[in-house]
A = this chain, B = another copy of it.
Amino acid sequence: MDNVATERMAEESHRQDSANLLIFIMLLTLTILTIWLFKHRRFRFLHETGLAMIYGLLVGVILRFGVHVPQNMSNVIPSCAVNASPATLLVNVSGRFFEYTLKGEVSRGKGHQVQDDEMLRKVTFDPEVFFNILLPPIIFHAGYSLKRRHFFRNIGSILAYAFMGTVISCFVIGLTMYGFVSFMKAVGQLGGDFFFTDCLFFGAIVSATDPVTVLAIFNELKVDVDLYALLFGESVLNDAVAIVLSSSIVAYQPEGDNSHSFEAMAMLKSFGVFLGVFSGSFALGVATGVMTALISFEFTKLRDFPLLETALFFLMSWSTFLLAEACGFTGVVAVLFCGITQAHYTYNNLSPESQDRTKQLFELLNFLAENFIFSYMGLTLFSFQSHVFNPLFIIGAFVAVFLGRAANIYPLSFLLNLGRKNKIGSNFQHVMMFAGLRGAMTFALSIRDTATYARQMMFSTTLLIVFFTVWICGGGTTPMLSFMSIPVGVDSDQDSSAVMADGLQRRNTKHESAWPFRIWYNFDHNYLKPLLTHSGPPLTATLPACCGPLARCLTSPQAYENEGQLRDDDMDLILNDGSFDAGFMYADVTVSTDATRSRTVSSSRSVRGGGDPAGHEGGLERELVAGEREPATRGTRLVLPTDERAEEPPGAVILPLPPPPSATLRAALTPDVEREPRLQF
């Protein structure tokens, strides 16, 4: 009978778990429906993530104050003479052994309260879930959909903001907070220990800006591409920096555990840890990406099976994360660089269907994970039970975050402007300052450990910072942009009128790029691309003559077909003067005015297929725009000499039709076409 009772209880617990998860699913469903309403009505003051947070808050309030679950008082507290807390515990219950796994420490003095709010505790689930399940797809998607051309054009500035800027911000915030905390201690407002390392840790976790909210808005408004690239690049990379930084600070804590004070040696060691972990993760991510590219390159016929291809791609990307975690590196960083590598090499080897599938899959995963995190954040404000809201600390934190962001943006922009040709204007700097939202990563880092008083206070404060920045700064982005008179509606990729300017701009790209990147580009284009993908010139053409046999054995038959047309989607990065035929471009543009009646048969494949997953970035917004565009624009886009048209011979692209019979014309101009984004004409 005892056995049956246990089974019943396990069943009950399972039902409770299902119900809890159901709450989140319902929240997400509600969010989606409301987002749709917002999109439909063109509300832009509140982004979907802010919305998800509000819904989360509401449900949190209901769960906290509205629901009273009858308690079963079966939580026994045996006072065992155990002098350690092992990961697994075997309990001998009158001759039968039950296995228990460690869930974590319950905060002091809470021992007896715990029973009262078991349900809330259940809703607040394991923070590791964020790091292992929700964050990887978000970060991978960020890497996979990176607009590499703009990213690499600004790579120097991005690295400066992301690395130096985050470190500066971390220290500025840490020092400011240390000042505040010392003051609080003097005044007697502090209820527990708060060491200098805690301050630094706080600085590390709130320095990571969020790549989600503002950028979605920027993408929708088509803000200046350089500003977009700077903010996006910074916020993607500084997520990685923040993770490594915070774990380095924790790692070097044990040494100074008794003192919790600043030590030069320990700091240096921490810096070493930082470099080691970062470069290790970077190398691992790139290695897995390259391996995937090699597999999909070698197993050429895998292209016939998009399902297998997609599955392989997904598994390899996921294994990057696991491998990095298993090796003690940072999975999130590895996954980011894996995503960039996959987009750069593997993507070219995939079949068009798999290119679509992988993009859509990661877009969906990203969307779900993102909204889940944000609604969970809202929920936590009420469901988390060890909040420590200290007004002084909160004020201090807001001031510190402001100072930290300012110390990141303004001095670095000044220094960068000394070297940059196209300067980062002061209005750009103000927007970057303003758009430093804190989001998923800050939250995930702060919820990871909430055992001590210091960490609890940090967590509560972080939550408020996230709420404030997402709602106020996120909502204020559009007014801010117009106030700073930053042009919106710029889109160098798609606008037909911008083509010429764009062509000139690209020529400049070369001069803008620093020489290390030009060397890298040439190496990548001549050796890596041919070795790893089916695009680019054959190795036989690029390697010196002495390596002929080796080159021949490494070159795929497809590569020879590419010979003679050196343009590939790498024009994204830097352009070789010789490879760009201006005459061809003009010809294209001329034809494109006739695009409504032209048909591009053989090019459809490569237009959809070749190139850049970033082309579909922000698909949500793209759909909105696509719905409004005229068929002519759509046609024009096809014949633009964009870098997406990598593989077909120039002559076969445009097939002008004879004057169509009325039936054809009707069909060609029917709005039906607009409802079918795949049928390009």
Contacts and interface: CB of A to CB of B under 8 A. Distances in A.
Contact of A76 (B86, B319, B667): B86
A89 B89 contact: yes
A466 to B, nearest CB: 23
A423 interface: no
A375 interface: no
B105 A667 contact: no
A22 interface: yes
Nearest to A27: B315
A47 to B, nearest CB: 14
Interface string A95-113: 1111111111110101100
Contacts of A678: 352-353, 608, 678
A93 B98 contact: no
A311 B619 contact: no
Contacts of A79: 92
A624 B605 CA distance: 19
Nearest to A360: B357
A35 interface: yes
A78 B80 contact: yes
Given A108-B96, A311-B364, A305 B10 contact: no
Interface stretch (A11-19, A499-507, A637-645): A11-19
A307 B38 CA distance: 15
A675 B86 contact: no
Interface residues of A, number: 131
A40 B300 CA distance: 11
Given A78-B81, A319-B22, A352-B676, A311 B100 contact: no
- Interface-central residue, A19, A74, A308, A627, by most chain B CB under 10 Å: A308
A325 B102 contact: no
Interface stretch (A1-9, A148-156, A266-274, A490-498): A1-9
A296 to B, nearest CB: 11
Given A254-B4, A604-B679, A19 B652 contact: no
A254 B11 CA distance: 15
A222 B676 CA distance: 31
Interface string A46-88: 0000000000000000000000000000111111111111111
A215 interface: no
Interface in A598-626: 601-602, 604-605, 608-609, 619-620, 623-624
B32 A312 contact: yes
Interface string A119-151: 000000000100010000000000000000000
- Interface-central residue, A79, A85, A310, by most chain B CB under 10 Å: A85
Contact of A91 (B82, B128, B655): B82
A74 to B, nearest CB: 4
A291 B288 CA distance: 43
Given A4-B257, A97-B106, A676-B604, A295 B326 contact: no
A74 B86 contact: yes
Contact of A80 (B80, B302, B352, B655): B80
A476 interface: no
A427 interface: no
Nearest to A37: B299
A676 B605 contact: yes
A351 B626 CA distance: 14
A328 B11 CA distance: 9
A26 interface: yes
A363 interface: yes
Contacts of A527: none
Interface stretch (A157-165, A412-420, A563-571, A658-666): A658-666
Interface string A166-195: 000000000000000000000000000000
B305 A39 contact: yes
5 contacts: A29-B312, A80-B93, A83-B94, A307-B360, A601-B679
Q: Which 3 A-B pairs have the closest CB atoms?
A: A100-B100, A18-B325, A18-B326
